Amino acid sequence: MNETRNVPEKKFSTGVITATVWQNQGKSRNGEIVGYRTVSLQRRYKDKNGVWQSAGSFRVNDLPKAGLVLQKAYEYLVLREQQETSDYVGEDVIEEVI
């Protein structure tokens, strides 16, 4: 079986907060393959051993940064939807540091 790894389409980060846009595929009710995008949000931190980890929980001071990267991801998705054509071919992942 030939599996392909899902790679991020776009990342928006500020400090340790990152919103990542993913391109996904699924089947519609009538069995057609359809594409859709999702956004994941994470906070990076170093554990007690100094190893970088990811978390889905945020401190109060993280919330403005989370809001900012989510807004940027939303803007990207809305603009992307307007520009998208049926023959779109993915591009390299680009990370925007805010």
**Per-residue confidence band for 11, with pLDDT thresholds at 50, 70 and 90:** very high
Encode pLDDT of 78-93 as tens digits. Answer: 998 887 754 455 556 6
15-24: b (≥16 Cβ within 10 Å) or e: ebbbbbbebe
Choose between 26 and 13: higher pLDDT: 13
Rounded Cα distance, 32 and 22, in Å = 20
Rounded Cα distance, 22 and 10, in Å = 7
Encode pLDDT of 18-72 as tens digits. Answer: 999 999 988 889 999 988 899 999 999 999 999 999 999 999 999 999 999 999 9
Q: At a CB cut-off of 8 Å and minimum separation 6, what does 72 contact? A: 12, 19, 96, 98
pTM equals 0.74
**Summary mean pLDDT of the chain:** 87
Nearest to 40 by CA among 63, 17, 59: 17
